[in-house]
Amino acid sequence: KAGVTQTPRYLIKTRGQQVTLSCSPISGHRSVSWYQQTPGQGLQFLFEYFSETQRNKGNFPGRFSGRQFSNSRSEMNVSTLELGDSALYLCASRVGTGNEKLFFGSGTQLSVL
């Protein structure tokens, strides 16, 4: 079974631009979560989607948004990029809600210049 796939692996953008990151979960997994990882703040929860609906949301500004498609693939969008958005963005999938086992992808490293 293929693991969680995130694309692209690396991304360089400039301030003010917007970016879209993609995550394909493990086959059969219906829940996708997104995390931001930075050296200073560590891993912070962004949001979780289940069956195309956002279930949980972390404490991030509205510039961070996401969606999930009917095939469970998820995208995360960041608009009006700021330097502080430079981070590793990790996606994790699990079978469904109530199941605590998360499987992570290798992340997208976003650099904002």
Partner 1 sequence: AQTVTQSQPEMSVQEAETVTLSCTYDTSESNYYLFWYKQPPSRQMILVIRQEAYKQQNATENRFSVNFQKAAKSFSLKISDSQLGDTAMYFCACYISQGGSEKLVFGKGTKLTVNP
Applying CB under 8 A, which residues contact partner 1? 3, 33, 35, 42-43, 45, 48, 55-56, 88, 90, 92, 97-98, 100-107, 109
**Other Cβ atoms within 10 Å of 56 Cβ, number:** 13
How open is the CA angle 113-45-90, to the nearest 5 degrees?
60
C-alpha distance from residue 28 to each of 43, 73, 79 (Å)? 25, 11, 30
Q: Minimum Å distance from CB 61 to partner 1?
A: 19
Q: Minimum Å distance from CB 10 to partner 1?
A: 11
Choice between 14 and 38, CB closer to partner 1: 38
Q: Minimum Å distance from CB 80 to partner 1?
A: 26
Choice between 3 and 79, CB closer to partner 1: 3
Among 29, 17, 18, smallest CA distance to 93 is for 29
